[in-house]
Amino acid sequence: MSTTYGGSPRNDRLSTEELRAWRGFFVTAAALRAQLEALMQEASGLSGGDYAVLLALIEAGDRALRPSELAEAISWERSRLSHHLGRMERRGLVRRDPCVVDSRGSELRITPAGRRAQRAAAGPHMRAIREYFAEALTPEQMHALVEITDALTTHLASLPADSSDAVAREERVRIQS
């Protein structure tokens, strides 16, 4: 199958440079996530997933989120989110209320304990991002990275959601995780 990369047609094989860039991106992103997760867990007792859920609920303001809205906001599958929310509910970080417009559904809200946990985690999390990510890059590199991530986001958004290309679909899911 022929695909276009950067405007030029290519076959399915990646050049040495393309493969090096992909592997570097993939491995580095995973290492950064692992470091940040470990530091957050140690500093606050929250997992990266906990923090993502709490942050999305805080960013919703006074509005409750339906599980499907939250799943989309944090790029998770609904089943993964459902199990995670159960654990967070048992810890008192979130609560599920009956949905006012659909009696079969629920709405999610952050609890006061969840707000406190997110606030306690935010400082150490931001310091770790600065130390492990921002300080490693020059302003020019940061600007280039913003352009790169914007280009990737735009490209991914342009791909058909029901693509029959299983490899592309698998890569998009892996990138989001």
For the chain, what is the HEC assignment?
Answer: CCEEECCEEECCCCCHHHHHHHHHHHHHHHHHHHHHHHHHHHHHCCCHHHHHHHHHHHHCCCCCECHHHHHHHHCCCHHHHHHHHHHHHHCCCEEEEECCCCCCCEEEEECHHHHHHHHHHHHHHHHHHHHHCHHHCCHHHHHHHHHHHHHHHHHHHHCCCCCCCHHHHHHHHHHHC
Exposed/middle/buried for 99, CB within 10 Å: 0-12, 13-18, 19+?
Answer: middle
Closest CA to 51 of 36, 65, 61, 31: 36
Whole-prediction pTM = 0.74
pLDDT, residue 59, reads 94
pLDDT, residue 123, reads 92
Domain ranges of the chain: 15-136
pLDDT, residue 164, reads 41
Torsion angles phi and psi, residue 157, rounded to 5 = -65, -25
| CATH code for residues 15-136 | 1.10.10.10
pLDDT, residue 135, reads 97
pLDDT, residue 9, reads 58
pLDDT, residue 104, reads 83
pLDDT, residue 139, reads 97
- Which of the residues in the chain have pLDDT under 50? 1-2, 164-170, 172-177
